[in-house]
């Protein structure tokens, strides 16, 4: 694995240093360049938590990834630069569902100049830059987030109102890799997993957030949002390539799953 190749992939220029400026730049460029996506899950291609696999896929294969891959890769790159990085097991929707959710998300803590920062490029519609680990509301672009210390161990990151998931919880303890691997396997194989049920791609841009969930492309800006329905495989492929920077071989079976899931959701929606 080559740090230089990763930095080129995200568009970082210059010399990376162990500074807050570099940390912010790497985080922001990763968020704005690489799409959050679960298309391997939809294709039935197994994914794991090994950084080498994420590197080969995202840097070598010019793909995106989900939290285990995105934060795993960026965490490795920050460590190569010289940052002190800790991987932490987080729980999306732990607020509603309890400790069974812990490990369904990977986040990062970065120690720098006596301060600790939360870094996360794997939440899809979440932060675009790291934030200091302290209670309070903070703003990134036009998104408002909040960090809350909910007890002696646990922190909660409250997502912005346009986000798909309301929050995730995490501690400052090093993640158990066995727990992460177990949750990673479950999320890509269990019929009840939202990642198995739904094809999702998300990507930040300086002026907007693009979210492709199934057949629906949603564009979220500071002044509001708009939606459009994807009507064909060719249109789906074009959006993946032009909006999300993804070229997926053998996209037909994924599109068939997207169509079937859309029909299922429509059938379950009560008529007005």
**What are the pLDDT digits (tens) for 99-142?**
999 999 999 999 999 999 999 999 999 999 999 999 999 999 99
Query: Is pLDDT of 77 > 70?
Result: yes
DSSP, res 121: S
Strands 155-158 and 143-149: antiparallel
Query: Is pLDDT of 263 > 70?
Result: yes
In this prediction, residue 270 has a pLDDT band, given cuts at 50, 70 and 90, of confident
pLDDT at site 266: 86
Residue 9: strand pairing partners: none
Query: Is pLDDT of 269 > 90?
Result: no
**CB-neighbour burial class of residue 168 (10 A; exposed 0-12, middle 13-18, buried 19+):** buried
| Mean pLDDT over the full length of the chain | 96
Average pLDDT in the 202-231 region? 95
**CB-neighbour burial class of residue 146 (10 A; exposed 0-12, middle 13-18, buried 19+):** middle
Hey, which CATH number is domain 194-265, 3.40.190.10, 1.20.1270.10, 3.30.2140.10, 3.50.40.10?
A: 3.30.2140.10
Average pLDDT in the 230-243 region? 97
Distances 237 to 72, 231, 258 between C-alpha atoms, Å: 27, 11, 12
122 C-beta neighbours (distance < 10 Å), count: 25
Average pLDDT in the 65-91 region? 98
What would the pLDDT profile of 161-213 be if each residue is shown by its tens digit? 999 999 999 999 999 999 999 999 999 999 999 999 999 999 999 999 999 99
Which pTM value belongs to this model? 0.95
pLDDT at site 272: 58
What would the pLDDT profile of 147-161 be if each residue is shown by its tens digit? 999 999 999 999 999
In this prediction, residue 271 has a pLDDT band, given cuts at 50, 70 and 90, of low
């Amino acid at each position: 694995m080559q740090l230089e190749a990763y930095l080129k992939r995200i568009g970082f220029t210059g010399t990376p240093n162990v500074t807050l400026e570099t940390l912010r730049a790497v985080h922001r460029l990763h968020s704005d360049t690489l799409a959050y996506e679960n298309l391997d899950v939809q294709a039935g291609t197994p994914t794991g938590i090994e950084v080498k696999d994420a590197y080969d896929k995202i840097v070598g294969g010019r793909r995106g990834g989900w939290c285990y891959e995105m934060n795993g890769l960026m965490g490795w790159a920050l460590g190569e630069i010289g940052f002190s990085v800790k991987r932490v097991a987080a729980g999306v929707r732990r607020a509603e569902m309890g400790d069974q959710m812990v490990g369904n998300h990977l986040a990062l803590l970065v120690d720098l100049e006596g301060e600790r920062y939360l870094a996360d490029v794997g939440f899809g519609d979440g932060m675009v830059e790291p934030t200091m680990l302290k209670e309070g509301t903070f703003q990134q672009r036009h998104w408002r987030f909040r960090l809350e210390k909910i007890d002696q161990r646990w922190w909660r990151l409250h997502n912005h109102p346009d986000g798909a998931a309301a929050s995730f919880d995490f501690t400052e303890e090093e993640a158990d890799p066995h727990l992460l691997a177990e949750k990673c396997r479950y999320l890509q194989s269990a019929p009840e997993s939202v990642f198995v049920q739904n094809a999702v791609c998300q990507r930040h841009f300086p002026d907007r957030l693009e979210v492709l969930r199934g057949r629906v492309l949603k564009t979220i800006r500071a002044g509001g949002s708009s939606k459009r329905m994807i009507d064909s495989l060719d249109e789906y492929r074009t959006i993946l390539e032009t909006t999300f920077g993804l070229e997926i071989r053998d996209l037909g079976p994924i599109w068939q799953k997207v169509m079937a899931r859309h029909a299922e959701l429509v059938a379950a929606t009560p008529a007005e």
